[in-house]
Amino acid sequence: MTDLEPIGGGLDRLLRRLGMPVVPDLARLVEEWADLAGEPWASRSEPVGLRDGKLVVAVGDGADATLFKYQADMLLERLEQGLEGRLIESVRIIVGKPKKCL
């Protein structure tokens, strides 16, 4: 018998304990944003951060930020269905293109 364990399983558990999503969840969110979010989110926003269940989404201007603020619940529902679980608890909308933190 050995005490060795693949690092992936332990790393996933550690990330979840720290409130961070695991790498496959992040990769899927970024790669499939257009399909997961749907319109108008897909063409007018970009996921830029995720921590402790809070998704940060960047938009191009204040008008989009106002529009999306009122549609955040719809986005959460779509993401929950698409990601097959409640990975994201809330959405924060920011204006501009910050340095990626995903």
pLDDT tens string, the chain, 102 residues long: the values are 456 556 555 655 665 565 555 556 677 888 999 999 999 999 999 998 888 889 999 999 999 999 999 999 999 999 999 987 777 899 999 999 765 555
Taking the domains of the chain in order of start, what are their residue ranges?
Answer: 21-95
The reported pTM is: 0.71
Report residue 87 as tokens. 């990975």
CB atoms within 10 A of CB 58: 19
Name the fold adopted by 21-95: GMP Synthetase; Chain A, domain 3 (3.30.300)
Q: Are 79 and 37 in contact (CB under 8 A)?
A: yes
Asked whether 80 and 90 are in contact (CB, 8 A), the reply is no
